[in-house]
Chains A and B, each alone.
Chain A
Amino acid sequence: MNHWIVAPIVLPAILAPFIIMVLRYHLDLQRIFSVAGVVGLLGIALTITAQAAGGDIHVYELGNWPAPFGIVLVLDRLSAMMVLLTALLALPIVLYAIASGWDERGNHFHPLFQFQLMGVCGAFLTGDAFNLFVFFEVLLIASYGLMTHGGGAVRLKAGVQYVTYNLLGSTLFLFALGTIYSVTGTLNMADLALRVAEIPPEDTALLRVGAVLLLLVFCIKAAVLPLHFWLPASYANAPLPVAALFAIMTKVGAYSILRVYTLVFGPDVPVSHGLVGDWLQPAALVTLAIGSIGILGTQHIARMVAFCAIASMGTLLVAISLFTEVATAAALYYVYHSTLATALLFLVADLVMQRRSGVIGPRPPMPQNGLIATLFFVGAIAMAGMPPLSGFIGKLLVLDAARNAPDATAIWAVVLIGSFVTIVGLARAGSLIFWKSHDASTQDDPTPEAETAPEDADPAPPPPPEPQPGLAFTSVFGLVAGLVLLTLFAGPALDYTRATAAQLFAPEQYISAVLGGDD
C-alpha cells in the first residue's frame, strides 16, 4: 500500500498534540514546528499530486480492512489537488499569523491550526461517507477554537452563532447518513454508488430524501444562499488570518457536492436524475447575486471580504451545478483562484485593520498606505475577475462552459452583472479606505505624516505593534505570487483540471479501484 496517502492526515495529527503537550510554553518553538509542519505538508501534497497526476486511483485501507467493510482513503486527481491547495494556502497564512502576532493573542493557535489542516485534508481524502462526517467534525471543532481565538465579546457572540449553525448542520448530516444507510446498507462511497444504481426508480423516495438532506448539509458548508447566514458574521468577526484559512472550508462543501453528486448520486443515475442540478443552479445564481450586493452594501472591510467569499462560492457552484465535464474543469480552476483571492483579501483586510478602523470610510491615513492599497487592488482585480489575473480566466471558463446550458442567458447575465457590481463595490471600498484618508488628513490633521516609516515615527494614533511587517508582507505577496502563477500557468493547470473532470465523470474507475481490492 502507498502510505503517502495517509501522511497529510497523520502529520498534523501528530504535530498538534506534540505542540500542545511538549511546547506549550515555548511560542518560538511552536512557531518553528508549525511552519515546519506546513512545509512538510506541502511536500507531501506535492508528492501525492505527482502520484495522482498519472490518472491512477490509489486506495489506502485503514487497518488493512478490505473496502466495503473498513474505511478507505482514496487518492485521485481531485483529492490530490485539493490537498495541495490546502497546503499552499496554509503556508502564507501561518507565516502571516506569526508575523502579525495573531498567534500570541490567545492560547493554542498552532495546535488548532494543525488540527484544522488535519480535518480538511481528511475530508478531501476519505472515501467513506461517515468518515467524511467525522473529518467535518474534526475541522469544525478546530475551527471553533480558531474562530474565537483572541476572545472579545463580539467575537465570542459570533462564535456562539457559528457553532450553533454548524452543530445543526452536523445533526442534519447524521440524519442524511442514517437515511441513506437505512436504504442501502452501506456508507462506503464506491459501494454506495453501486447500490444506488441498482435500486429501481419507483422505490427511491427515502433515498431521494437522504440525497437532498445531504445536499443541504454541503450547502450549509458551502454557504449557498438560503443557508449562508452564518458566514458574514462569523468570518468578519473571526481573526482575519483564520478567516483566510476558512476560505478553504467553504471549498470543502463544494468538494463534497462535487464528489458525492458525481460518484454516488451522479447525473445519470435514475434515483437522482435532475435532483441536484435543478435546485443547486438557481440557488447558486442567487448566492452570487446576494454576495455581490453585499459587497456593495456593507460598511466594514471584513464583512465586505466575507461577501466576496459568498459571491465567489456562487460563481463556483454555478459551474459545479452544470454537472458537465467542461464546466467541472472550469470550476476546479476557479476553486484555486477563488481560494487564493479570498485569502489574499482577508489578509489585506487584516493589514488595514491593524493600522486603522475597518470601517469603509475616511479615516486619518495609516502607515504603508500605498503598499497596502496596491495589494488591495491586486486582490480586488483578482476577485472581480478583471483581465490581468486568474479571476478573468476562471470566469471566462465558467461562462464558456455555460454557453450550451439551457439557462445560459440567466447564468451569463448574473455572472456578468454580479462581476460588475463586485467591481463597483470593491472600487468604492478601496477609494474610501485608501484615497479618502489623505483628504481626511489634510482637513483634520495638519501634522506631517511619515507615510513610509511606520515603526519609529508614530503618528498621533499609535498603530498597534506589528512584530515583523516584512514577513507579513512577504506572506501576502506569496498569495499574490500564487495568483500570478495560476494565471501564467493556466494552460497546464487547465490540462490537469480537465483530466480531473474526466476522471470524475467516469466513476467506474473509482469504484473498481476501491472495491477491486488488488492494491
Chain B
Amino acid sequence: MNALTVTGISKSFGSFCAVKDLSMTIPEGQIYGLLGPNGAGKTTTIRMIMGIILPDGGTIKIFDQRNSIDVLDRVGYLPEERGLYKKMKVGDVLHFFGELKGMKKAFISSQIDYWLKKFELSAWKEKKVEDLSRGMQQKLQIIVTIMHEPKLIILDEPFTGLDPVNTNLVKDVILDLKQKGTTIIFSTHLMEQVEKLCDSILLIDKGKSVLQGDLHQVKSRFSHDRIKLQYSGDAKFLKENPAIEKYDDYGNYVEIRLKDGENPQKLLRDFVKVAEVYRFEIVEPSLNEIFIETVKSEN
C-alpha cells in the first residue's frame, strides 16, 4: 500500500498558478524529500495534502483513502510557520492537540511524558509556552506532530531554528520513526539533510514536477560523465583519448568530462596502461548541483 498517492493536482490563486498537474506516489516506510526553490509550491502542495485548502483538480489519497479528517488523524503535520498557544502550559497544549487527534486520555499522558523526556523538556511541562526559547518551542511543536504515532508524517522545514545538537536529536528521531515503518515527507531546501536522510525526492519548480524518483537513481542519472583523476605520468593521453569531451587540470587532480555513451571503466583500463593512477573516482554530483542545474535549465 502507498502512504500517499497524489494524482494530477492543480491549484491557482486568482491568475497565479501555484501548483500545476502534480503527481507523486510515496510507498510506505520511505523518507521522501519535497524540494524546490522558494515559492515553488511546496507548502501549497502540503496544505492540499492536509486538506487545509482544496485542490482545483486531481485526487489525493492517503493510505488509499480520501484525505478526510478521520484519515488525517493518522497524519502528523509540522507547518512551516511555527506557533502554539503562548499563554497555555506546555503540558496543556500537548493534551489539547492529543485530543484533537483523537487520542485516548491515558495514552496522551504517557506520550507527553515520554516525548518531553526524549526532547529534554520535562522540566518545562508546567511552564507557559511563551517562557520557552524558540528552539524549545520548535521541539515542542515536533512533539505535537508525532505524539499520536501517525503512520505518515509531513515536516515542512523541520530543522530551521535548531542548533546542531538539536538538529541531530531531531534527525535521530526521524530515523527512529522510519525504523518503525513510519512514512516521512519532508520539505526543505537544505540539500545536505536530504542527501543524508531521503530515499526518494521530488523536485518542484513553479508548481511543476521537474525531477522525481529514487535518490540514487536521480544522482546516477547526473553522474555518468564526470571523473576525478589523480595520476603521475604524461598528460598526452588525456588530450588524445577520443572518449574525453574535455578536461580541467586543477594541479592536484584533473576533472574529466566524458562524451555521451562512453564507459568510464574502459577509460580506467586505458589509463592504467600509460600512467600511475592514484585515484579514479566517478563523481556523484551533490544534490545541490542537481538542484541548481535542473532549476536553471527549466528557466
Chains A and B bind each other? no
B-contacting residues of A (Cβ < 8 Å)? none
A-contacting residues of B (Cβ < 8 Å)? none
